[in-house]
Structure 1
Amino acid sequence: MNAIALRTFLGNRRYLPPSNPSAIELGVPRVHYESLDSVCTVSSCLDWRADICMSALDAPGRAPDVVVGSVEFLVLRLGYEPVGDVLPQFGERAADFAVLFTDSWLGADLDENDDFTAGMPISVALLVLGAQVEIADPELRAWALAEVVHTMLPTSAGLVLMAADLHQRRASATASRALASVAPPDPDWSRIGCSRVPGHPSFFGRSTAYTYLDDARAALAGCRDRTVRVPVG
């Protein structure tokens, strides 16, 4: 992939438009996926990074794409290994999700909840560990998250999960539900079609058995047609 970090791009004068070197116009966002494979002893879970790349529309010559953000996530295949043993190997953020699973499957309280899984067995879970953008586009982060979910999950047996607030780690996996339920959630979770996980207010999520995720992705599609001016310096 021919792409460089935003800060590196802005610091190289030869990429800036001669007519207006104080700003650059970025557009045509897309997502580039890279499997990290940081835990080679685990077969049921793989960590991924999805870079959000954009084109510098007014840069002179053949300028590289610009990385303006990223989404970090795990793809967990259920039914193979005890989730409580697997997730801690990917760090504390991943280990927090273990409370939602029993042995190698989604917990019975969620798996048997028709309002959450629509009675469909869940075979793959996508766990969002982090998501950030470096430019002032109010929908770009949500658009990228929706694209990741659409690309990486099956159409009916998948589940996306994330902490209610990625920027405020819970004190423990058994933190008070009453306290957790009043914590303000990340606003992008509802934008991509997710809601609080029943009985676990510290988490948001949604099953692919419903159309909420696809509907939200369609609503965010206009993000691809916008451009963003980014100041230099």
Structure 2
Amino acid sequence: MFSLTPVVRNLLILNVAFFLVDIYVINLTPGFALRSFMSPAFMPYQFVTYMFLHGNFGHLLSNMFGLFIFGPLLERVWGPKRFVFFYFFTGIGAGLLFSGINYFEISQLREAAQTYTAYPTPDGLIDFLSQHAKGFYQANLDFVNQFEENPTNPTYIKDSVDFVNALYQREVNIPMVGASGAIFGILMAFGLLFPNTELFLLFFPFPIKAKYFVTFYGLYELYAGIQNAQSDNVAHFAHLGGMLFAFIILQYWNSQSKKFY
């Protein structure tokens, strides 16, 4: 019979408890989700607290399922203290990588918004939307067409500037939540420590070795992160960050002991 280890059990309880408090008692997201470095709501402690918040039940279930399946074996191999360190190291590392890339993207968006605000024109608005907000172009096509027909109309100019600035404010204040970074770190560690273990997955009709599953999943996350689809609200670079920091700490631990643990 499958048995939970102490740290995994406590992490499951904490994540479920925070989810229930967030949904039914008080909204924790405004203060404890991870914000952009450029957001006035950013606080350093959010690199820890964001790991215990989830967007919905499905988000929570998928992360806790990964922790439930892969976490206990790693805790038995490493012991509770090292497992706790690994969990927070990869989770915080995931937040750092995500925040670094987010800072680069938001900086570009802010510069584009400032440029447009200084020189608002229909062509400038089209360029801004096509480069930074493709998903909003079709939704605002009527306004763009009317602005093109009345390029000197002060109302259209003001509305376009307000729209661009509102879009920037929206992007800079989008919160990031979830234990996914730490879970992907656990998945990476499992693939490295037990590479030939065969996994039976619901969406695969045949067993796949852990090393191949981790490799394919990592490549998919990299592809999805680079694509950066407007409708995609998954923090793919946080997932990659968890895997990257897992690889780093495993390599360091391995260099300290031939047996690794």
Query: TM-score, normalization: structure 2?
Result: 0.23
Query: TM-score, normalization: structure 1?
Result: 0.25
Question: 1 or 2, which has the higher strand percentage?
Answer: 1
Of structures 1 and 2, the one with the larger relative CO (CA 8 A, separation 6+) is 2
Question: 1 or 2, which has the higher helix percentage?
Answer: 2
> Over alpha carbons, which structure has the higher Rg?
2
